[in-house]
Structure 1
Amino acid sequence: MTEGNFVDYVKIHAESGNGGKGSAHLHREKYVAKGGPDGGDGGRGGHIIVRGNQNLWTLVGFKFKKHFKAGHGEHGGKQRSTGADGEDVYLEVPLGTVIKNTDTQETIFEITEHNQEKMLLEGGMGGRGNWHFKTSTNQTPRYAQPGIPGQEIDVTLELKVLADVGLVGFPNAGKSTLLSVITSAKPKIADYEFTTLKPNLGIVEYRDFRSFVMADIPGIIEGAAEGKGLGHYFLRHIERNATLLFLVPADSKDIVKEYKILLDELRRYNPELLDKERLIAVSKSDMLDEELISEIQDELNEGLDGVPYMFISSVAQKGITELKDRLWSMLNDEKVLKS
């Protein structure tokens, strides 16, 4: 999937259908002088329904069509014939989509399961035909109910990527390179900041045909929680990840400080993110000799408060298998398997 096709934020307008009018028909038949009322009910208007689809990864389907209108209910007919219901409209969205009222920004509901259906707007009820209003004192009512009008709303669809592992790091920390090595994903990679402008997803193949999903989130900068850089645009994707993998390059001036800046940005955005399991991977470690690794280990042991870490190199394929083992054990609460 190209970056241009990854759409995770759209605004749409939806309208449910009007209910059909009830009929005020009076029965007419040869040799029946006073047949009485036989007007049927109007059909209900079509609903607007949101449905989860696990085969979708993006909201790109809403990029060019942003107005959705359900069908109107048909009017009632003679012989108590009920009008047909209006056609429902289904909005297929990827799992992890949050639906908000655009005007109030209140969350209406979230879609997290395949084939999960939520009613966004109900169609208007059909009006009742005149036969409902027949009484002992009013044998031939010549009126019926009109249908109830449909509803309309402006909503915002926000996609929060559903992934097992979220890659967190400053721009150019090597997240896209790691994703390209550990999965079959082909993210854009270059030696400058903000190469990644949209989240990339990849499936990590593990032992015995098992797998888990990893997401490369665009790089964080200081002040991201206040909206600087790409700000909230990408931070919301981290909320859905089960485990956070912090990637800090070995050539960083201060690995512990860089990690704590990243952690603080997550805390300021949403303190609940700190409850997720964390693992620190020191990338580009093929540049380090044993002496430098030992020095960095001493710094990490002293400054990380027990957060686990490991040294990896995506280019040299160093520590990649061990990283997959560690992540799998964190996701499934299992002991790390040995080769």
Structure 2
Amino acid sequence: MSDISTYLEAIKERFDLSSDYTLAKKLGIAQPEANLMRRGLKIPKPEVCIKIAKLLDKNPVELLLIAQKDKAPPSAKEYWTLALTAVDVMLHVPKSPKYIPRKVEAIGRELRQLETQTLTYEGAEANAEAVRLVQTAEHSIDAIMERWNIWKKGEALYPNYLLANQEAAKRGVIIRRLLVLTREQLQQESVVADAIQVMDDQHRAGIKVFFAFREELERSPAFRRFEEDYKKQGAAPDINAAMFDSEILIFSQSYGQAQLGVIGTPTPITMINQLEITWKPDVIRDLNPAPLFDMTRYVFEYGGPPAFKMELARFKRSVA
């Protein structure tokens, strides 16, 4: 018996129809056609599907898809079943509260992007999605942060993203994060203090924190290629990227500032305006931050403020 047959039996029961003749009359078709449809030997035309739907208070789209599934070859039936499931979900989405249809619409946008092996998020959604990715990590997270100030207290990634990292570390996820500092930044004592605070926060959260000075990193051909590869993929000039379980990568495409506060003087907060998530094999290969941690000539593990200040003093002497 076809799925359409089930709907026809439902019509007979609802309207107390005792024969194919009365069913055919109700549908406005010939009796032989009604008999063949009820036995699953004929697929109704679109206009008949619509009539069946109206008689059963169904959405016509549901019946049209059922008809397509019934006449599809066995190899294609599972895809029509999947389409029917998706439509069924959409048809039963309530219009209120408004959050629900908007959430479903957002899920739909994500599903349409999956074929490209890339997802893009903007604004607050970008920051929220980064947290969700950390929550799915099982083994490792390797990250590089040039726009590291967004980890400061009061900035976009504090405290939600930091707390998500801490929970991941508690689960046994090995997290390595490299902060890239510049000569210009380190000329300001307040920025040095901020960098130490950020690294201390990360360290206390169970993250293996590393730091490097950009002017030294740029001496490495490998790092210059790394930067160029990110540029080709549309990454922001200041690279913020993380690899999760060596299989999925996120990186910032642009940054912006949001003003927090409508009363008094607003507080500027650095935001990730656009975030890309990708699992394309070639991109994963080229943009993986993991090799950076092997560049021990330029990359140092953070061991607390005194050791950091010693390396900072050495760096300042070298560029004086």
TM-score, normalised with respect to structure 2: 0.30
More strand by share: 1
Identify, as 1 or 2, the structure richer in helix.
Answer: 2
